[in-house]
Structure 1
Amino acid sequence: MKIHIVICLVMFISATFGCQDTSMNPKNINNDLIIRSTPVSAIPFVGIGPQWGGYDNILRWTGSSTFNAKDWEVLEERVQFLRPGLVRIMASQGWNYYQNGVYSPAISEGVLFRILDFCQENGIQVMYGEWGEEALPNGEVDAAWLERSTDFLKYLLDTRGYTCLKYYNMCNEPAGDWSSIGGDYSLWQRTYEQLLSLMEAKGLNNRIEVIAPDVAIWNDTSLSDWITRPAAYFGDKIQAYDIHSYPTDDQVKGGSYRKVIAHYRSIVPDGKAMIMGELGFKYNPNSAHGITNVARIADDPFAGDDSNMMIYDAFYGVDVADAVVQNMLAGYDGVILWNMDDAMYSDNGDKLKRWGFWNIFGEEKFGSSADEAIRPWFYPMSLLCRYFPNGSTIYPVDVPEKKGLQAVSAKKDGRTTIALVNSHASSYTLHLKAEERLHLQGAKVYQYIAGDGASFEGAKDSKGFAIPNSVEDIDLHQDDAFTVQLPGRSVILITTMQ
């Protein structure tokens, strides 16, 4: 059965009558969405975008050190439509600039430089960093690696001229026992000291913002000192902060996730940006979706254990949108989605980390050209990436207490975006208002309504890219409301941005 969205403009006109019993006509405040005029953060929003890059197995999987012309065309066309404000690209010396004891940046010609060229040409900012290296004995700092790493960073900035590189991070998830830092804060601090000294000596400081600590948090605040200690010790040498999070559906929908990430945002020094450096959405392993995920991994010969097989289902796009909006409302200045493409990273040999919008090597290596197709969750993510752009200001939206309901707004250059997310099964009738008058002329209205499996309702063109469901002229104020029927498991986005 199709669910149709109905949007109409409703003028609320109040009048006062002498002895009228107002209890007979109570004001409907329970279904009001009110766009507030005070921004969430004074720091301009950096943007939303996916993890990109890697493809370290491309030669082994395809016999070539770069993509064929068709795959490059597909990738670039899709990312151009996605229009991310920020992407995260990670490198490592063995894959990108140092092999067999020889320093050689030319190793990166096949993939990394082509991706960075694309980002440069399309105005996409990059959070660039390194995965880290093997831990040395006795907690020693790998000074030789840092020397080469900063040489390569200098090469990217000076020789290649990449001004798209906005942030630099030295090591992925250092608080984890799986990282080269192994959770040793002292080693991490000493490594960052050497990194910062090398950057200053090579003229790199103030040319790219150093971001830290890049730790992966759980659903608690136990890693708070990985922010407070660097802030106290390094001061302004750390110019921005980031964490990673992989919440489960019950944490996001139950409210604990929002409280945890808000805490981490609150302890960042004033005036410093805070980025969600990886956002992945998981399902409680004991839930129906969690059990299904394990079964699907077992049935897929190419899926590694580190996979979320719900990427094939339309409801996943709504769930991730819920988490993204909560990050914006918690004051995060950018969000990196995990991730763009299954083919970027392997998990135990030739198995994939299935988390992407597609698998660009579906035909070449993994026996299915259909796996190269755009998956449903690309649709709502493309809307959030495009219409919460770099340089925008994020505004909170008051919402009634309804399960799964989130809303947020953004403004840039006199244009406005409003995103409404309902991750619950119930449909809601809501009245959208604004604290300060908004006139949205020619506003594009997009809808994404998850159905069974991969099916969803949402207008799209022949390439699978989102197009508006309608175009409306909308006036919003405290007495002027735009009534929205928000179906269960849906995302509605209204925008005057181009």
Structure 2
Amino acid sequence: MRQIFRIMLSFWLVTAVISCSALSDATVTVDNKTIINPDYIGNGVQWDPYQLDYGERQLKISQEDWQKLYSRLDFMKPQFIRVMINTTSVIENDVLNETKNYENIAPILEYCQSRNVKVVLGDWGDRMVNSKTNTISENNLKLAARYLDFLVNQKGFNCIRYYNMINEPNGFWAATDENYDLWKNAARYFWSELKIINLDKKVSLLGPDIAIWKTDKVDWITNSVRDLDDAIGVYDIHTYPSKITVNSGEYTSILKAYKDAVPHNKPIVMGEIGFKFVEKQDEALMNENIARAKAKPYASVEDSQMFVYDYVYGSDMADVLIQTVNSGYSGSVAWMLDDAMHRKEQKNKLKVWGFWNILGDEYFGAKEEEVRPWFYAWSLLTKYMPSGCQVHQVSITGNVNIKAVSISKEGKNMMAIVNVSHKELKIKLSSTAMPVLQNVKKFVYAKNQLKLEGDHDLLPNKTKITLDLTKNSVQTIPAEGLLVLTNFDY
């Protein structure tokens, strides 16, 4: 009898294990007692003054379109926005003309000021340095500091917290032409000018703002720490990884190399983030991207991400953001808000990367003004990852296609799980210490799953859910989909 009992017990145990395995494809475990980031800055988007001159026509953004932009961003609730300009565009005969083109930047900063959005203002680098003579332009740097003073002190835009001197200085395309010492000298001189006018008490530098694909540029971080740590309030990098790099999880190890080089008392953020199909495994996607750009009348073939029209770009951006957050970064800025901001090649060839083109009705085609799917994925992970939130430790077993993040603030929680596989997956959510969450909203981002209302609002798929992870919870996530569970009451 004992032998029979042992056999039956073994059978029951094996059956139970098989049943549990069949119930879910992966397990997401939240350790909310372990905080990997106690004070997250927030997520947002790049929002630059608009080009407006499109060769064939000069356009103007109407008040109606500004209000449409504001309403759409209010749904997203950005916490962190990057605004880049060429200060030399407001310099005439070596003299600063602060009011020139002010109407182009003012609506952007007015929005950020009124919504308490932290802003990185910066200069692309035009004529701030001369890479051929290896010299900095002291006059232009001085005037850039004065222009910042005009915006912060005279116009009252204290939403500007950080300044980014020269975009991606490690690039051959940058004003510095990959020269670290030239960038360092420009940043150091600009900082000295801020100190003279006491702006260093209100604004710190953000840098080195390098574009990276591998771990071979960490020296830009270590050198910045050595030379400029007193001036740099937030360190940052830009990444445009390949889809295979992110979906495989290799992206995390790249991120950590740069995070580990930053002092423990300083945050690091992602100053620009988007996808480029640079790896051999993504060659078919690159060819498809080029073909789509060629077929689009106003798209730059050289610099467009044509998958912004596809739902998969939203789940991929969720994947890249979740890995960035879990690697200890304190914020991410998506490239970019609006196609109408930047041209490439010719004036009417745009960098198609945005959530929309606000001048679609006026010039580029009415369809282009509509909200594209990835806006909703990015918005969920911006809206429900508020400034000041804590990021919890999360572990995942069972499937490499699943990534997850968990945050909390003032008794409210958000969990996001992305599935980058081509099939629907069942996910077991578990935690030994997370409290029972009441009045949870469930959002499902996937094709044919969004509950949309009006121009841009996304409604939860379910509401008033009680979520008890101590008893496990099994959730289904569509292929290339994102699941967001939150009890934030907005």
TM-score w.r.t. length of structure 2: 0.92
Q: Which runs of 5+ in 2 are unaligned?
A: 1-5
Q: How does 1:87-486 map to 2 (within 5 A)?
A: 87-95=81-89, 97-99=90-92, 101-134=94-127, 135-136=129-130, 137-218=132-213, 220-284=214-278, 286-304=282-300, 305-349=302-346, 350-366=348-364, 368-450=365-447, 456-478=448-470, 480-486=471-477
Question: How many matched pairs?
Answer: 472
Alignment correspondent of 1:6: none
Give 3-state SS (helix, strand or coil) of 1:491's partner. strand
Q: Does residue 86 of the first structure (1) align with residue 80 of the second (2)?
A: yes
Q: Is the 8 A contact 1:43 1:333 kept in 2?
A: no
- Taking a change above 3 Å as real, the CA distance of residues 40 and 327 of structure 1, as seen in their structure-2 partners, is farther
Letter in 2 for 1:411: S
Alignment correspondent of 2:3: none
Q: In the aligned structure 2, how far is the partner of 1:127 from the partner of 1:444? A: 32
Give 3-state SS (helix, strand or coil) of 1:138's partner. coil
- Taking a change above 3 Å as real, the CA distance of residues 106 and 421 of structure 1, as seen in their structure-2 partners, is same
Q: Deviations over 1:192-247 (max 9, x none)?
A: 221121111110112112111000001x1111110001102233322210000000
Alignment correspondent of 1:488: 479
Q: In the aligned structure 1, how far is the partner of 2:357 from the partner of 2:37? A: 38
**Where does structure 1 differ by over 6 angstroms across 4 or more consecutive aligned residues?**
none
Q: Deviations over 1:417-437 (max 9, x none)?
A: 000100111221111122313
TM-score w.r.t. length of structure 1: 0.90
Q: In the aligned structure 2, how far is the partner of 1:221 from the partner of 1:265? A: 11
The farther-off stretch of 190-199 and 282-291 is: 282-291
Q: In the aligned structure 1, how far is the partner of 2:457 from the partner of 2:57? A: 28
The farther-off stretch of 156-165 and 430-439 is: 430-439
Q: Is the 8 A contact 1:32 1:431 kept in 2?
A: yes
Q: Is the 8 A contact 1:460 1:466 kept in 2?
A: yes
Q: Which runs of 5+ in 1 are unaligned?
A: 1-16, 451-455
RMSD between aligned residues? 2.0
- Taking a change above 3 Å as real, the CA distance of residues 207 and 458 of structure 1, as seen in their structure-2 partners, is same
After TM superposition, give the deviation of residue 46 of structure 1 in Å: 0.9
Letter in 2 for 1:55: Y
Letter in 2 for 1:153: L
Q: Is the 8 A contact 2:440 2:467 kept in 1?
A: no
Q: In the aligned structure 2, how far is the partner of 1:343 from the partner of 1:465? A: 22
Q: In the aligned structure 2, how far is the partner of 1:437 from the partner of 1:241? A: 32
Q: Is the 8 A contact 1:123 1:164 kept in 2?
A: yes
Q: In the aligned structure 1, how far is the partner of 2:270 from the partner of 2:34? A: 19
Letter in 1 for 2:453: D
Q: In the aligned structure 2, how far is the partner of 1:315 from the partner of 1:79? A: 21
Q: Is the 8 A contact 1:62 1:364 kept in 2?
A: no
After TM superposition, give the deviation of residue 104 of structure 1 in Å: 1.2
Q: Is the 8 A contact 2:269 2:330 kept in 1?
A: yes
Alignment correspondent of 1:4: none
Q: In the aligned structure 2, how far is the partner of 1:312 from the partner of 1:54? A: 23
Q: Deviations over 1:351-404 (max 9, x none)?
A: 0000000011122232x1111000111111111110011111111321123142
Q: Is the 8 A contact 2:38 2:391 kept in 1?
A: no
Q: Percent identity?
A: 30
Alignment correspondent of 1:25: 16
After TM superposition, give the deviation of residue 59 of structure 1 in Å: 8.3
Letter in 1 for 2:349: K
Q: Is the 8 A contact 2:27 2:398 kept in 1?
A: no
After TM superposition, give the deviation of residue 469 of structure 1 in Å: 0.5
